[in-house]
Amino acid sequence: MLLLQHQDDFFVAIIQINEMIYTIQENGGGDTMGIYDLDLQELPLFEGLKADEVEQFIQATGAKVKRYGKEVRILKAYETNSRIGIIVEGEALVLAEDRFGNETIGHRLERGALFGSTTAILPGYASPTAIEAVSDVLVLWVPYTALLVAGPRLGRIHASSCATCSWPSAARMS
């Protein structure tokens, strides 16, 4: 029942995104930064996909782009999270927090790096890691449940992006 409610919310969100895209196109684009002007097909997540396939993925999953300023916490330690983040622009640090609140710098994330996947997939897991912007950072947030729901409709696009999500590289995980 809960999944059906989320699925209904997902479809409403897709309709709203399509309406916003149509409005932006009708108004000549305005000053709004287009999500499709970010060369997302060049990111490792979308390796082998064409720009229109990336656009289809974005629309089907309801992925959103958000900008963070320098030294802003993109994801806090122990914070609940239901989305997978992909760095589109800028750099961020992975910070590990111990039980006393002390932080240790882990590693640097650059364009194309994935983070938040563990907490998105395992909602009960409280990750002791935080992500902090080193510069202005642009993040593509992909809702994990929307990724699951949209998967069957996306076919090859979903298979390609999910294969990329399972990279063993520690620089793409948090």
Q: Write the pLDDT tens digit of every residue in 85-138.
A: 999 999 999 999 998 989 999 999 999 999 999 999 998 898 999 999 999 999
Q: What is the average per-residue pLDDT within 155-161?
A: 52
Q: Nearest CA to 73 among 94, 89, 101?
A: 94
Query: What are the residues whose beta carbons fall under 8 Å from the beta carbon of 72, sequence distance 6 or more?
Result: 132, 133, 137
Q: Write the pLDDT tens digit of every residue in 14-60.
A: 565 555 444 444 433 333 345 556 788 888 888 888 888 888 888 88
CATH number of 34-172: 2.60.120.10
Q: Is the pTM of this model over 0.75?
A: no
pLDDT more than 90, % of the chain: 43
Of 147 and 96, the structure prediction assigns the larger pLDDT to: 96
* The pLDDT of residue 96: 95
Q: What is the average per-residue pLDDT within 162-171?
A: 46
Cβ–Cβ < 8 Å for 146, 10 = yes
* The pLDDT of residue 77: 94
Distance (Å, rounded) from C-alpha 87 to C-alpha 172? 10
Q: Write the pLDDT tens digit of every residue in 56-92.
A: 888 888 999 999 999 999 999 999 999 999 999 999 9
Q: How many CA atoms lie within 13 A of 37 on its CB side?
A: 6
